[in-house]
A = this chain, B = another copy of it.
Amino acid sequence: MLDRSCIEAIDPLLEILDGKWTLPLLLELFVGTKRFGELRRRLNPISPKTLTDRLRVLEEKGIITRTLYPGVPLHVEYELTERGRNLQPIFAAMWAWVQENGLSPERGTEIVEEINFGLI
């Protein structure tokens, strides 16, 4: 049971995490700093428009930074900010839930390999 007040408290975060690709995108950046093209390949088949949209929103919300390295060809890197990295416990909690509660109600608990989810 939760206190009612937390409902509206969480709301601004839901706004940040909204969108089909936002969480997969953040997960990619948790693995490490990435360039536009690499994100696009990893998140295949995301469209460049959608990827740009999401990146801009996350940048605006202070979750990631965009660093431009001038030159030809262009080189742009996206990286999590402190605020962004602080989201880690949320993903850790999600991961833990999946491990402990399985993929579906019918299946039993899955035996999982040792997976390094924590901070490296």
Q: Give the number of times this chain occurs in the complex, counting copies.
A: 2
> Which of A48-56, A66-74, A90-98 is near enough to bind chain B?
A90-98
- Does A27 sit within 8 A of B, measured CB to CB? yes
Most buried by B among A9, A11, A91, A104: A9
Residues of B near A2 (CB, < 8 A) are: 27, 30-31, 88, 91, 117, 120
Contact present for A86 and B105 (CB under 8 Å): no
Interface secondary structure of A, over-half rule: helix
Q: A100 to B85, alpha carbons, bound, how many Å?
A: 12
Contact present for B6 and A27 (CB under 8 Å): yes
Residues of B near A61 (CB, < 8 A) are: 104-105
Nearest residue, chain B, Cβ from A115: B5
Contact present for B32 and A7 (CB under 8 Å): no
Chain A residues near B (Cβ < 8 Å): 1-7, 9-14, 18, 20, 23-24, 27-28, 30-32, 61-62, 83, 86-101, 103-105, 115-117, 119-120
